[in-house]
Amino acid sequence: MPKQFVIIGNSAAGIAAIEGIRRRDSTSRICVISDEDYPAYCRCLLSYYLAGEVGEDKILYRPKDFYQENGVELLLNKKVLRIEPKKNRIQLEDKAQISYDALLVATGATPKFPDIPGIKKRGVFGLRTVKDAKEIEGFLPVTKTACVLGGGLIGLKAAAALKKRGSDVKVIIKSGQVLSQMLDSEAASIVQNKLEANGIEIILGSDAAEVIGNGDLKAVKLNSGKVIGCSLVVVGKGVEPNINLAQDTEIKINEGIISNNLMQTNIPDIYTAGDVCENLDITKGLPAINALWPIAVEQGKLAGANISGEKLQYEGSVGMNSIQFFGLPIVSLGLYKIKEGEAKLEDAKLSSGEVYKRLIFRDNILIGAILIGDIKDSGLYLKLIRERISVLPFKERLLQENFCFADIKDFISKDISYGAGYLNDLAT
């Protein structure tokens, strides 16, 4: 008898789960529920869409007939009110109830907004959805100056997009460097110089204290007292996982929804994947959320397979990011800083102009890498990190110009799925 599988979430993890199920099961029913009114699209491309570099048709993640071809019932613009694990059903905000044999919670994450006066004024946006990007685009004809709050990936990608659309852009960063969650200070300086050379103003060590305006915003007031006139604000201060559906249920949560290596929660017929999922971080050796598109795809595919009856094991994820600003490529893998007092860690560096490489080791095992300017070896470094093998036999070659797969082929598995193309997925 066909089963009923329900997926809450219609992004990377949810789509991958559909494909994971359909590779093994062509008859069970699949119902996908999304609170957005748009079919699956690639969030990674939103800043490129905002910059005018790709059209709306290019951000679609799958063809328009994907759901029909895969026998999926797609419920858009529907909000799940609660999960009822003991009854194997979910309840929607419109009172509808949907039963399931297996449930995947792939609810993703939501932008963090600072708790300051005026933050809800018209003209203040996150950049997480197609709706956000379109609404920001609608402000561009009347925007001379835009402020971006936050110097992480989302904030800087938004800043670069707005600059390319002709806005005067000021990025306000509370910490003392850009990209503080993926780069060390030396690497951050190179990136900051590149951004500033292309006309983006970086304001370090400051935070927004108030958004000023009567109705529409007029300015941002900093904690220093300085006031910056602007008509558009984009908030890029990170995201928080959407765990609300698991709260007040038997599902165990921490920062995210906790899963085992089968992508199951503590309730065997409820799975989780993507930006809401807390699972093993390989380099930290601890549970963590690595909210990245390729990781969501990995987890979703595995969850879909296991929902279909497999018992595939998830080995954990590696924190990683790849981005390019004004032609300068940047990759960060695993651990990116050595904290004071971490005696068991060592590093190796290479620095020349806009080329910077840093590798971090623990007991001769590569656990982190930063690459700027020259990222051609990033896929090899990622493979070494994931496989957790000793680099001692070839350690002195890791930063050499002619380092290549031949140097490590006898020490690692033959599967090269984590090659350079995998890292490119993060930037596109």
Is 89 among the domain residues?
yes
CA distance 124 to 143: 12
pLDDT at 410: 85
Give φ, ψ of 301 to 5 degrees: -60, -45
CA–CA distance from 28 to each of 15, 78, 120, 277 (Å)?
A: 16, 22, 43, 25
Q: Which of 181, 202, 237 is the last residue of a domain?
A: 237
Together in a domain, 94 and 232: no
CATH number of the structural domain spanning residue 423: 3.30.390.30
**Cβ-count burial of 44 within 10 angstroms (0-12 exposed, 13-18 middle, 19+ buried)?**
buried
Is 315 among the domain residues?
no
Together in a domain, 99 and 119: no
Domain count, the chain: 3
Together in a domain, 333 and 303: no
Is 409 among the domain residues?
yes
Pull the structure tokens for residue 36.
């957005």
3-state secondary structure at position 146: strand
Length of the chain equals 428
Q: Which of 256, 278, 307 is the last residue of a domain?
A: 307
H, E, C per residue of 353-416: CCEEEEEEEECCEEEEEEEECCCCCHHHHHHHHHHCCECHHHHHHCCCCCCCHHHCCCCCCCCC
Q: Is 270 within 8 Å of 277 (Cβ atoms)?
A: no
The pLDDT > 70 percentage for the chain reads: 96
Together in a domain, 275 and 231: no
DSSP calls for 315-333: --B--EEEEEETTEEEEEE
pLDDT at 151: 97
Cα–chain center distance at 266: 25
Q: What is the largest CA-CA distance in the chain?
A: 67
Instruction: For residue 301, give every residue at least 6 positions away whose Cβ sits within 8 Å of its Cβ, in sequence order, or none.
Output: 16, 17, 19, 20
Tokens 């997480």 -> residue: 128
Q: What is the mean pLDDT of residues 110-121?
A: 96
Q: Which of 219, 237, 255 is the last residue of a domain?
A: 237
Q: Does the pLDDT of residue 428 top 90, yes or no? A: no
Q: What is the mean pLDDT of residues 267-294?
A: 95
Confidence of residue 12 (pLDDT cuts 50, 70, 90): very high
Tokens 């987890």 -> residue: 299
CA angle 60, 66, 68 (to 5 degrees): 140
Instruction: For residue 156, give every residue at least 6 positions away whose Cβ sits within 8 Å of its Cβ, in sequence order, or none.
Output: 148, 171, 178, 179, 191, 195, 236, 323, 325
CATH number of the structural domain spanning residue 269: 3.50.50.60
Helices (H), 140-212: 153-164, 185-197
CA distance 336 to 320: 10
CA angle 270, 275, 276 (to 5 degrees): 40
pLDDT digits (tens, 9 = 90+) for 90-100: 999 999 999 99
Highest mean pLDDT among 311-325, 332-346, 409-423: 311-325
pLDDT digits (tens, 9 = 90+) for 227-268: 999 999 999 999 999 999 999 999 999 999 999 999 999 999
Q: Which helix (H) or strand (E) holds 228?
A: strand 227-229
DSSP calls for 62-110: S-TTHHHHTTEEEE-S--EEEEEGGGTEEEETTS-EEE-SEEEE---EE
Together in a domain, 244 and 106: yes
Q: Which helix (H) or strand (E) holds 298?
A: helix 293-307
For 121, other C-beta atoms within 10 Å of its C-beta total 16
- Cα dihedral 144/124/9/69 (nearest 10): -30
- Whether the predicted model's global pTM rises above the 0.85 cut: yes
Is 327 among the domain residues?
yes
Q: Which domain holds residue 217?
A: 113-237
Q: Which helix (H) or strand (E) holds 222?
A: strand 219-222
Tokens 């329900």 -> residue: 6
Q: Does the pLDDT of residue 139 top 80, yes or no? A: yes
CA distance 329 to 327: 6
Confidence of residue 414 (pLDDT cuts 50, 70, 90): low
